[in-house]
Chain A
Amino acid sequence: MPEKLKVLVLDDEPIVGKRLKPALSKIGCEVEVFEEPKSALTRIEEKEFDIVVTDIRMDEIDGMEVLDYVAKRWPRTKVVMITGYAMMALAREAMEKGAFDFIAKPFKPDDLRRVIAKAAKALGRPIDFDTDSK
């Protein structure tokens, strides 16, 4: 049996992790959810995740810092940025810093599943989800 895709979800709104965990588990991901950026970074320091999904606007540490941290610590990890404050400048900044994708909130679970499937494909570990429909 292939190893599950390890995904970390970080969002300070509890409802986001609560909704995304089952949505991603459905497509064979092993999901860890965090609401505190500091605890998420501690976990990232000790474990290499395949994909990190992070909110951008959070207290203390923002998503861009998380992106920088992941890029330095685990360059292979794909980082997906999610935000309720999407703007072109922010999206471009995230992509320039190496984000794999950028999604505006609110989004449907399928939107994120599609991005996760694309990231999995880019990692050479395709999962069973239709990525060509978009």
Chain B
Amino acid sequence: MSSIIIASDSPETGRRIADETAKFLGYTYMDPEDVLSAVATKRNLDKDKLKKVLDTLPSSFGRTSRVWRQWLAFIQEATLGRLMEDQMVCHGLAAHLYVMGVSHILKVRIITSEMERLQILASQRDISADKAKKIMKRMEKQRHQWCLQAFQMDETDPSRYDLVISLNQITAKEAVKTIAGVIKYKKFKPMTYSIKCLEDLELESRVRASIIKDHPEASVTARDKTITVKVKTLKRERKKKTAAIKELVGGIDGVDYVEVHFINDIVRQAAESFR
């Protein structure tokens, strides 16, 4: 069955709408806390630090950008795994930035009024409206940079969504009803193709999560259980790298075949030629 991903400029409002939409439709609300707990347990990570990956840039994360990417890949893997279940409502896991091209997943953006966001921020931090305004501007800029660094995307671009709802004019309750109405459109019904697209994304994320530690620069694509890994390397290392990647990926559940493609690492090649 269909699922819904909700993104918002206000995490609190996005969460509330996601939760209410799930209740209204009888769908399951994918609580980000549960997903993060599961990842933290599985990977033996500190949950609070893991949570920070979703709103902190690598520069202020306190660990290397390599670790930041790894942990992000773990969250992606877990989120996509949950989206394989039917009738989910997902919010707060940045899924709108990495779940692409799956026609039975409705992507919604909720826009709240600046005033409402300011009020929430001011009351959360017990600060003046002026100070809240300055902080909010800084947070918006940081969020924009986060989206670019993590997924090279602008999440405020409306063309990335199936439905954009402004709460300036309609109430949260009406928004929930609108989302519930839209998800019933025939076009959001799962079909063989869309299920395969989601399966490919999920498998891709599992493979990436498995190899990212040893091959952080590798790009992974999955199609019909065939995995293609593209990796930068020197000519003389190809054989060794192919064997290592095939061993890592070949044993992953759902993988039938692994192909390794190489991009010549011209930087390392040039560096070595000057030695």
Contact = CB atoms under 8 A, between A and B. Distances in A.
Interface in A63-112: 86-88, 91-93, 95-96, 98-99, 101-104, 107, 111
A99 B194 CA distance: 14
- Give the interface SS of chain B, mostly helix, strand, loop or mixed: helix
A95 B192 contact: no
A91 B190 CA distance: 10
B186 A88 contact: no
Interface size class of A (residues with CB under 8 A): 10 to 19
A115 interface: yes
B144 interface: no
Contacts of B193: 86, 91, 102-104
A101 B185 contact: no
Contact of A104 (B186, B187, B188, B196): B196
B195 to A, nearest CB: 8
A95 B103 CA distance: 10
A88 B103 contact: yes
B102 interface: yes
Given A88-B103, A92-B103, A102 B191 contact: yes
B188 to A, nearest CB: 8
Contacts of B251: none
A111 to B, nearest CB: 6
Contact of B192 (A88, A96, A98, A115): A115
B189 interface: yes
B192 A101 contact: yes
Contact of B103 (A91, A98, A107, A134): A91
A10 to B, nearest CB: 18
B189 to A, nearest CB: 5
B26 interface: no
B101 interface: yes
A20 to B, nearest CB: 15
Contacts of A86: 193
A111 B192 contact: yes
Interface of A: 86-88, 91-93, 95-96, 98-99, 101-104, 107, 111, 114-115, 134
15 contacts: A87-B101, A88-B103, A91-B103, A91-B191, A92-B188, A95-B103, A95-B187, A96-B186, A98-B186, A99-B191, A102-B192, A102-B194, A103-B191, A104-B192, A114-B192
Interface of B: 101-103, 185-189, 191-197
